[in-house]
Amino acid sequence: MTRILGISGSLRRDSHNTSLLRAAAEAAGPDVELELYDGLKEIPPYDEDDDVHPRPPSVARLNEAITSADAVLFSTPEYNSSIPGQLKNAIDWVSRPVATNALRNKPVAVVGASTGGFGAVWAQAELRKVLSALGARVLDVELPVPHAHTRFEDGGLTDDEIRAALEDVLEALTDAAEQREGLKASV
Amino acid sequence: MNSAILTIAPAGTWNLDPIHSRVDFEVSYLAGTFKGHFNEIAAELTVDDERATLEGTTNVASIDVNEENLSAHLQSPDFFDAERYPELRFTAEDIRLDGDGQVSVGGELTIKGVTKPVTVTGTVTSPMSDPYGTERIGLNLSTTIDRTDFGINWNNPLPSGEPSLANDVTVLAELQFVKQGEENK
């Protein structure tokens, strides 16, 4: 069983990106468990003065969720050509200290939805850059979901092409996670 | 023996003295040269009448650039990907002297799971006896590789659009070997 943590960069209740992760959870095969992380809004602003032991409970919870997952799937909207501040803030917490952070070597993939015509491609690229910088194993995949408001009905994905692409992303993440498990087992 | 082949050291197996050896790398970055080294290295040199062979490895996790977080980044998938590819390896089957005391080596270098032929040049010292009665030689080798040949593609563009980190990386090995069977004599 591969455990994937889904993190949506959008806090909105009816977020297309959160819906995209729910669709991924439904599309996941029987050997994949995709759990959505729902605590992004509770993460306080990063302040090195507050980065002491014990860390704020919301941060500790996020860290634990990432640590216990085999892989992480991010879905990000695009704000001003980049990723939402709260998502970046949460990643900044997790990234410290860089040498031992929970995302280090963790297989991660990025997808994204926007109501515009480009499907958050810039935000996805920015997020891959950030995740690479902190040492995650960033999969070389991209899944833009443009005109997101036309692809969901009552929160459910109605676009089979995107569903198939989501399945491919999950498969790539699972492969990377299994390869990592194999490396650990062989040590 | 009157062979045209000049071996680089007396026949035998020579073990690395890792304390008095180094493997460094240098690469142009921003306005200067970025340097680092590997703290854990291993090598063995085998010499017979015909030729010398060398096999050496460095542990990627032992990369040292004087900054823990930067070392961590260099070990990440962005660079060496230490988790998947924990060591660098150099093997050379035929190391010879060219007559001027210069060493020329055709070997294979493995970085990040990619093995490429490389030409390495350098020098070797005459065998000497150290104060502890051990015979030793010094072998200094260097080569310049294109890191992107090995899948290490990270870069960060300058405002001018030029890359901040060069592709050409010089690898320098300063190795001291002691004759096997003579340690602690």
Please indicate if any CB of chain B lies within 8 Å of the CB of A87.
no
Q: How confident is the model at residue A187 (pLDDT cuts 50, 70, 90)?
A: low
pLDDT at residue B3 is higher than 50: no
Ranges of H-type helices in B53-141 = 68-75
Mean local confidence (pLDDT), A114-121: 96
Please indicate if any CB of chain B lies within 8 Å of the CB of A129.
no
Q: What is the ipTM of this complex?
A: 0.81
Mean local confidence (pLDDT), B7-31: 94
Tell which residue, A163, A152, A154, A128, has the closest CA to residue A142: A128
Residues from chain B contacting residue A180 (CB–CB below 8 Å): 83
pLDDT for A7 equals 98
pLDDT for B96 equals 83
Q: What sign results for the dihedral spanned by CA atoms A178, A167, A131, B76?
A: positive
Q: How confident is the model at residue B5 (pLDDT cuts 50, 70, 90)?
A: very low
CATH architecture of B12-179: Beta Barrel (2.40)
pLDDT for B94 equals 83
**How many angstroms separate the CA of residue B182 from the nearest CA in chain A?**
34
Convert the pLDDT of each residue in A63-108 to its tens digit.
999 999 999 999 999 999 999 999 999 999 999 998 899 999 999 9
The residue of chain A with its CA nearest to that of B70 is: A99
Contact B83 A135 (CB under 8 A): no
Q: How confident is the model at residue A30 (pLDDT cuts 50, 70, 90)?
A: very high
pLDDT at residue B1 is higher than 60: no
Convert the pLDDT of each residue in B47-67 to its tens digit.
988 788 999 999 999 999 999
Q: Give percent above pLDDT 70 in chain B.
A: 95
For chain B, which residues make up each domain, given as ranges? 12-179
Which value, to the nearest 10 degrees, does the dihedral of the CA atoms of residues B55, B56, B57, B58 take? Answer: -170
**How many angstroms separate the CA of residue A45 from the nearest CA in chain B?**
22
Convert the pLDDT of each residue in A168-186 to its tens digit.
999 999 999 999 988 877 7
End-to-end Cα distance, chain A: 21
Residue A105 CB coordination number (10 Å): 18
pLDDT at residue B183 is higher than 60: no
Tokens 């515009």 locate to: A116
pLDDT for B8 equals 83
pLDDT for B121 equals 93
Mean local confidence (pLDDT), B115-125: 95
Please indicate if any CB of chain B lies within 8 Å of the CB of A185.
no
**How many angstroms separate the CA of residue B91 from the nearest CA in chain A?**
24
- Residue B39 phi, psi (nearest 5): -80, -30
Our measurement of the distance from residue A150's CA atom to the centroid of its chain's CA atoms, rounded to an integer in Å, reads 22
Q: How confident is the model at residue A43 (pLDDT cuts 50, 70, 90)?
A: very high
User: Which DSSP letter does residue A82 get?
Assistant: B
Mean local confidence (pLDDT), A106-129: 97
Gap between the Cα atoms of A10 and A22, Å rounded: 13
Q: Could you tell me the two tokens for A176?
A: 């990377």
pLDDT for A10 equals 98
pLDDT for A183 equals 82
Picking from A121-125, B99-103, B142-146, which range would have the lowest pLDDT averaged per residue?
B99-103
Mean local confidence (pLDDT), A128-134: 96
Long-range contact list for B103-112, CB < 8 A, 24+ apart? B103/B8, B103/B139, B103/B141, B105/B54, B105/B141, B107/B54, B109/B143, B109/B145, B109/B150, B109/B171, B111/B80, B111/B85, B111/B145, B111/B147, B111/B150, B111/B152, B112/B80, B112/B81, B112/B84, B112/B85, B112/B150, B112/B151, B112/B152
Write down the mean pLDDT value for chain B.
Answer: 92
pLDDT for A156 equals 96
Contact A183 B75 (CB under 8 A): no
- Note whether A110 and A119 are within 8 A (CB): no
Convert the pLDDT of each residue in B135-171 to its tens digit.
999 999 999 999 999 999 999 999 999 999 999 999 9
